[in-house]
Chains A and B, each alone.
Chain A
Amino acid sequence: MMDSITPAPAGMPRIGDPAPAFEAVTTHGVLKLEDFKGSWLVLFSHPADFTPVCTTEFIGFAEIHPKLREMNVELMGLSIDSVYSHIAWARNVEEKMGKKITFPIIADLNKEVATLYGMIMPGESKTETSRAVFVIDDKQVVRAIIYYPLSTGRNMDEILRLIQALQTADKHGVATPANWRPGDKVIMPPPKTQEAAEERVKDKAAECKDWYFCKKSVK
């Protein structure tokens, strides 16, 4: 039997925690986390400017940025580089790859925000941030966390799908099944009482395999 709960590592927010507050120098000036209140925020880190995998990711993030904004989601990058490096790299990506970087990038030279969010994986690199993604909702609560290693670029489609799933779950009080896509049926929360179970199987809007496994359509 466990007699204690393992504490979270310092600087490692977990899903459901308030997102740690920060004030940081970015390519869009000094920004605070609280500036994003009322919008969702995808806060992501990348290992370093002027590196090839990160460049493909930045192009990918820039491509989904308009769609994210339609969903009331802002985007902000971070690495342990200077603001001048970020500016030069963003200009290079636009000049050489034809993609304008429209979101702010934190210049986290003192590793303050990276440490606060546990974005550095010392076993992999002590000087670079891993490919972390923190999905923070409009009330500034951490709703999802993704980590990828240095060698593997992230999947932008999955980041979009994740936020669409979270927003759908919030709006309709439901959950989403594996490989869910917008427009697919959603999972109804399992009934918590015998009476509710009996009602659920009679529900004409519910498509049930059994009383605990029912799906329905939402708009």
Chain B
Amino acid sequence: MACVNADGTITPTAKALLQSLQGPLGPEEIAARTGAPLFRVRASLRELQAAGFVAESGGRFVTTDAGRAKT
């Protein structure tokens, strides 16, 4: 797993991504803020969303309460 470890902890990359989500942001904006490649941001968001740490609406992402607890 790129973002969420088997024990439920998250990787430094995922933590940086969650911390960058100060409001609803699209993948391109997150990539610009974190300096991560866009493909990595898209893959990480997919994984974090599946784990319930981010939520998506209209292509923009926000951190959930569960995600905030990880930062």
Contacts and interface: CB of A to CB of B under 8 A. Distances in A.
Interface of A: 28-32, 34-36, 38-39, 69, 74
Interface of B: 1-3, 28, 37-40, 42-44, 46-47
A35 B39 CA distance: 5
Contacts of B40: 28, 35
B39 A31 contact: yes
B44 A39 contact: no
Contacts, number: 33
A36 B39 CA distance: 5
Contacts of B46: 30
A31 B2 CA distance: 10
* Highest count of chain A CB atoms <10 Å: which of B1, B3, B39, B42: B39
A34 B45 CA distance: 13
24 contacts: A28-B2, A28-B43, A29-B1, A29-B44, A29-B47, A30-B1, A30-B2, A30-B43, A30-B46, A31-B39, A31-B43, A32-B43, A35-B38, A35-B39, A35-B40, A35-B42, A35-B43, A36-B38, A36-B39, A38-B38, A39-B38, A39-B39, A69-B37, A74-B37
A80 B62 CA distance: 37
A35 B47 CA distance: 12
Nearest to A32: B43
Contacts of A36: 38-39
Contacts of A35: 38-40, 42-43
Nearest to B40: A28
A32 B38 CA distance: 12
B43 A74 contact: no
Nearest to A33: B39
B39 A30 contact: no
B39 A29 contact: no
A105 to B, nearest CB: 13
B12 to A, nearest CB: 13
Contacts of B44: 29
Given A28-B2, A30-B1, 15 more contacts: A28-B43, A29-B1, A29-B3, A30-B43, A30-B46, A31-B39, A32-B43, A34-B42, A35-B38, A35-B39, A35-B40, A35-B42, A35-B43, A36-B38, A38-B38
